[in-house]
A and B are shown apart, each in its own frame.
Chain A
Amino acid sequence: MLHAVDESVTPIHIHDMTVAYHKKPVLWDVDLAVPEGKLVGVVGPNGAGKSTMIKAIMDLVPKASGWVHIYGKPYSRMRQVIGYVPQRESVDWDFPINALDVVLMGRYGHIGWVRRPDKIDRELAEEALEKVGMTDFGHRQINQLSGGQQQRVFLARALAQDAQIYLMDEPFAGVDAATERAIIDILMDLRARKKTMLVVHHDLHTVNQYFDWLVLINMRIVAAGETKDVFTDDNLNKTYGGRLTVLSEAAQAVAHHQRGL
């Protein structure tokens, strides 16, 4: 970033971050300062590194270089302020637990090692379920929920974390219209309460309507800023067009070289 960033009011500040999977770089030199209280969309083609960026912020994947600060501090000291909604497909929905158990997991970070959830945690979990309109499904085994309902359970789990920043990986993927409406209502409500949200999204039609800030990404940040400034044909061409193939070929070459093939 050329201009100085006031870190104390910047929820997420990424500096010169490169991430590699099996030595193959998937994100190059990311610089990003996400402003507070915005609903931020992260948009780009498949394999652009959208999920990777979110995971790298939370130290879930190792960074090859660079750093991330959360309100000016390293993530390891700020875990409690981040809520996380992973991709729905990332877990086995045949696991033997019910919806309320899943939501209760959102409290575990506050509870800590070994101790058990108490009455207050349970109440918070039930409250979160109520917010996503799933009160009646708390005791339903999770494989008996529809895709949209499963997504709502994941969102409720993040709400139960009671965070300042929410990182969401494709919360609208494969959900019905009613669920999409319900989720966007909740996001608007969170924004009204000054929460910051980074939402991976793939439906270009709704970008203007949903997000006030936008990050276009394809292995590097193509553009980031107010949606009205960033969401242009030119930028979309840069994001989805073929110009970045050189970058991905370079990544392949690096990976092959380092694996000794």
Chain B
Amino acid sequence: MIWDATFQLVLLGSLLIGATSGTLGAFAVLRRRSLLGDALAHAALPGVALAFLWTQSKALPILLLGATISGVVGVLIIEAIVNYTRIKADAALGIVLSVFFGGGIVLLTHIQQSEVGNQSGLDKFLFGQAASIVRADLYVMCIVSALVMIAVFLCYKEFKVLIFDAEFLAAQGFSPRVVDLLLMGLIVLTVMVGLQAVGVILIAAMLITPAAAARFWTDRLHVMVLASGILGALCGALGVGLSALAPRIPTGPVMALVATVAFLISALIAPRRGVLARWARIRANALRENGQHFLRAYLALQTRGKREIVLLDLASELQLPLYRVRRLATRLASDGRVSLQNGACSLTKLGHKEANFVVKSHQLWEYYLVYRSILEEDHVDRSADEVEHILTPEIIEQLESILAQEGIDVVGDIHKTHSGYRRTGEDG
């Protein structure tokens, strides 16, 4: 790696591209417009080639002008297909994307085989070559990034309402069409400026992936926009750094891969929305439910007049293997709900309280369903069994008062249920 002025230039350029596309990507992803960015980029390729054929110039502004025109034409054709035929958006997108991209490849091959073309370096627009960024390009990038950032800063609240509730935006006297056009225009600018470094095939990844990753970490839009921008900048910089380690690796794919790694890590470990957090929640619920079944089984045995209750009794009541019941009992003992002495098992005060609550919610729900004729009596238990674990004390109170108003006293007979313990997962 060469840490010289050229490399700094390239690094700064990629950083800007990453930051800009990350920031705007947050809005594009939430607006479900991310694939439109992809279509736009692919459709830009023939524009690049035609601009070169027309002018015989490799100057970036000219090539990007061609790219922008053909990209926008592509998107307009998609909209026209959706509006005037019965073809749906996904098919329209697929058709336009492949036709434009195919045409672009044909033109590009033609240029490469011609005399003037073989040194044109237009192929960098396919996969991106950040190393080809020169000082003049960087100025263009700085201007576009600044424009995008200023527009996002100024129109943040308009973008927010446009995406959340466009009709309400209109009802407030704003024009959703104008706001939408502004957002789309910014996306076009960002995609075009990123073409040189990331390439038409993968620029959409820089728009989508950092935003999708950021969404996992936060429930606030401004945090998501910031995080997505920072993540995009990091991906841009890391992508250039990594691709510089080995010669001739295009920068676009490396940036996309770095962004994907960030996405995967986020999807896995993000609090609350991440896969692991979700899995832990499900497991905690299963543990709680099984514990509550244990307590309810204990109460049921006790009601039937059983004096000394051992784990084997509970195992047969719950229809679970003894080792699982033992595990449950040990866990409940460490929670202070059960005390175990010489194989005999008894509930602590806390355990009793919880057991009573569980039985009561089960009961109340059963009565409520039957009373309201929502379910037949013999169908009730399974549903009550699922619900008993999630009813809150407030709902229980409400149910009680509803039934009390209608002259039904459930509490008198709280230990009689239709029994049955729903199986959920492991008990640990």
A-side residues, CB < 8 A to B, are 55, 58-60, 79-80, 82, 84, 86, 90-92, 95-98, 101-102, 105, 108-109, 111, 113-114, 116-117, 141, 143, 157, 161
Contacts and interface: CB of A to CB of B under 8 A. Distances in A.
Given A84-B171, A114-B154, A141-B219, A96 B165 contact: no
A149 to B, nearest CB: 14
A96 B30 contact: yes
B220 A109 contact: no
A113 B174 contact: yes
Given A97-B220, A108-B157, A91 B171 contact: no
B160 A55 contact: no
A55 B173 contact: no
B220 A86 contact: no
A143 B164 CA distance: 13
A105 B163 CA distance: 12
A55 B215 contact: no
A113 B165 contact: no
Contact of A90 (B160, B167, B218, B219): B167
B158 interface: yes
Contacts of B224: 96
B163 A95 contact: yes
A84 B154 contact: no
Contacts of B161: 105, 108
Given A95-B30, A109-B173, A86 B219 contact: no
Nearest to B30: A95
Given A86-B165, A91-B164, A60 B220 contact: no
B221 interface: yes
10 contacts: A84-B168, A91-B165, A95-B163, A95-B221, A96-B220, A97-B160, A105-B165, A105-B172, A141-B219, A161-B172
Contact of A109 (B163, B172, B223): B172
Interface of B: 30, 154-155, 157-158, 160-161, 163-165, 167-174, 215, 218-221, 223-224
The 6 closest A-B pairs by CB, nearest first: A109-B172, A141-B219, A79-B173, A84-B171, A91-B165, A114-B154
Contacts of A111: 157
Given A96-B224, A113-B158, A79 B164 contact: no
Given A95-B164, A105-B160, 10 more contacts: A59-B170, A79-B172, A82-B171, A90-B167, A108-B169, A108-B172, A113-B155, A113-B158, A114-B155, A161-B172
Nearest to B163: A95
Contacts of A79: 171-173
A116 B220 CA distance: 17
A55 B167 CA distance: 9
Contacts of B215: 96
A60 B155 contact: no
Nearest to A169: B167
Contacts of B220: 96-98
A144 to B, nearest CB: 8
A82 B167 CA distance: 14
B30 A105 contact: no
B52 to A, nearest CB: 39
Contacts of B223: 96
A104 to B, nearest CB: 9
B147 to A, nearest CB: 15
Contact of B167 (A60, A97, A143, A157): A60
Contact of A97 (B154, B155, B164, B170): B164
A37 B294 CA distance: 60
A143 B219 CA distance: 9
A98 B170 CA distance: 21
A80 to B, nearest CB: 8
B165 A116 contact: no
A113 B157 CA distance: 9
A125 to B, nearest CB: 13
A167 B160 CA distance: 22
A143 B272 CA distance: 13
Contacts of A143: 219
A84 B164 CA distance: 15
A201 B165 CA distance: 22
A86 B167 contact: yes
Contacts of B174: 108-109, 113
Contacts of A105: 160-161, 164-165, 168, 172
A114 B157 CA distance: 8
Contacts of A109: 171-174
A117 B157 CA distance: 9
A109 B171 CA distance: 8
Contacts of B221: 95-97, 101
Nearest to B26: A96
A2 B174 CA distance: 36
A96 B221 CA distance: 5
A230 B170 CA distance: 33
A60 B219 contact: no
Nearest to B178: A113
A179 to B, nearest CB: 13
Contacts of B169: 108
A86 B221 CA distance: 22
B211 to A, nearest CB: 11
B206 to A, nearest CB: 20
Q: Which of A82, A109, A111 has the most CB of B within 10 A?
A: A109
A143 B220 CA distance: 12
A96 B218 contact: yes
B171 A60 contact: yes
Q: Which of A86, A96, A111 has the most CB of B within 10 A?
A: A96
A86 B168 contact: yes
A198 to B, nearest CB: 14
Nearest to A178: B398
A157 B169 CA distance: 12
B48 to A, nearest CB: 35
A139 B194 CA distance: 37
A58 B171 contact: yes
B166 to A, nearest CB: 9
Nearest to B176: A60
